[in-house]
Amino acid sequence: MKSTGNLLLLILFCLSSCSKMKVDDGNISIASPQPIEQIEQVSLTPTQRSYVDAGNKMAFRFLREVFSDENIVVSPLSLQYAMAMAANGASSETLQEIVDFLGYGSDGIAALNEYSKILLEQLPAVDLDVTLNVVNAILVNEIFPVLPAYKNLVETNYYAAVESMNFSDPGKVANRINEWTDKSTNGFIDKILEPEEVDPNVAAFILNALYFKAQWEEYNNNSMFLPDFTVAEDFFLSDGSTARVKMMRNTRFHQYAEMDGYKVLVLPYAQGKFNMYILLPDENNIGGLIEKLESTSWCDIIENLKQDAKVYVRLPKFELENKLNFSDALKSLGVNRAFDMGSAQFDRMLSGGQNDFWMSGIIQKTRIAVSEWGTEAASVTFEGDATSGEPGGDNGDPKEIYFYADHPFVFIIGEETSGTILFEGVYTHP
């Protein structure tokens, strides 16, 4: 009887304190690109900028699928990297479904690889005061030899270490992956797998870690939010009840936008290349906002931003953590064949027949902490600005905007020069 096995994608999303890293963990060596000097912007062709738009559209569709009226944080960029590495091991209909989901259509896998490599190399270099590491690895069951072409491809385009080990002891496999997780996130996420979650017949674990740490942009040598101004206030839940939350405060000239049914606030990090965007519905209807975003272009939101008013900001201090299996969400979004045992086509990754391997799950554990200092977050996946002068309203006096995030809202962390969404989530309750 020939051996068959499934693939499990683990995605580690990290926003946490971390230096540019090289981790040697047992047999898994992790090396992320090291920016030598800062660049002005991520250099993308017009076609590649359309990929950014496609990825952001996927991000909003995906958020709708995984949201269930609870706090949640995910990374569409980390998901993209894990799925892209899986796509490189796929063929025929399986490959096309993944490429279509990611938004690359007829351009195919080569275009995806080139674009992914550019982001991986350049995103960490646009602001050296921000720590951003994108780390990839593939841990393979030693009974399934890795095809040399696949190994070379993911090492070259994704800086992914490809290593083999004996999967007969689930505890050792879980420990190896958990050690990798802990070191890749500087301890912010110390575990993603339990031994009972490891099937000895799993063919490979595709691992991605996206690690981010950034301090808020300073104003007059002070943090954007001062701890002395943080006070407990009411937060209005979707069911009409209230809960107490530590509410951070500031008053600055921030970028903001007034959209159809919701407002957008920009909170910059460090040198202003990376931002947190708060999307606050006018009414306490977070579900309606998420539905609206599915048909919204992120570019349209960015183009509507302005900075002509003094903004009074109230934002909860919060920390979120979740572990999710994305399989059902991906099936709803058209990725079906990859999960179908006997018909999935992952014959370009490991030695075996065309239909010997399938995807059993995509597990993601994500943690994020937002405080007066800045943002710390981590995620693992298995397969504002003060202006010179004071802008004024029509009468010459500064306009005033009250942006009180005292009911459920969407938050997004993005890079400005490329328009890439790194993280997204929903805060529904303390």
Mind giving me the DSSP string for 255-323? -EEE-SSEEEEEEEETTTTEEEEEEEESSS-HHHHHHHHHT--HHHHHHT-B--EEEEEEEE-EEEEEE
Arithmetic mean of pLDDT over the chain = 86
Predicted confidence at residue 22, as pLDDT, reads 37
In whole angstroms, give the CA distance from residue 108 to residue 223: 44
In whole angstroms, give the CA distance from residue 299 to residue 162: 36
Other Cβ atoms within 10 Å of 98 Cβ, number = 24
pLDDT band for position 332 (50/70/90)?
A: very high
In whole angstroms, give the CA distance from residue 257 to residue 349: 46
pLDDT band for position 3 (50/70/90)?
A: very low
Assess whether pLDDT exceeds 90 at residue 257: yes
Measured CA distances, 164 to 141, 159, 194, 197 (Å)? 6, 16, 20, 19
In whole angstroms, give the CA distance from residue 326 to residue 320: 18
Q: Are strands 309-316 and 242-252 parallel, antiparallel or unpaired?
A: antiparallel
Which residue, 428, 422, 430, is CA-closest to 132? 422
Task: Name every residue whose Cβ is closer than 8 Å to that of residue 336 and which is 6 or more positions away in sequence.
Answer: 97
Most confident of 8-17, 43-52, 374-383: 43-52
Assess whether pLDDT exceeds 90 at residue 382: no
Q: What percent of the chain has pLDDT over 70?
A: 88
Predicted confidence at residue 247, as pLDDT, reads 98
The least confident of 6-20, 42-56, 306-320, 361-375 is: 6-20
Mean pLDDT, residues 407-418 taken together? 97
In whole angstroms, give the CA distance from residue 247 to residue 250: 10
Assess whether pLDDT exceeds 90 at residue 397: no
In whole angstroms, give the CA distance from residue 17 to residue 313: 26
Domains of the chain as residue ranges with CATH = 5-216+319-370 (3.30.497.10), 227-318+384-427 (2.30.39.10)
- Of the CA atoms within 13 Å of residue 22, those in its CB half-sphere come to 3
Residue type, position 114, single letter: E
**Is residue 341 within 8 Å of 358, Cβ to Cβ?**
yes
Helical axes 92-102 vs 108-122, angle rounded to 10°: 40
The least confident of 20-29, 80-89, 231-240, 377-386 is: 20-29
Mean pLDDT, residues 338-350 taken together? 91
Q: What is the largest CA-CA distance in the chain?
A: 82
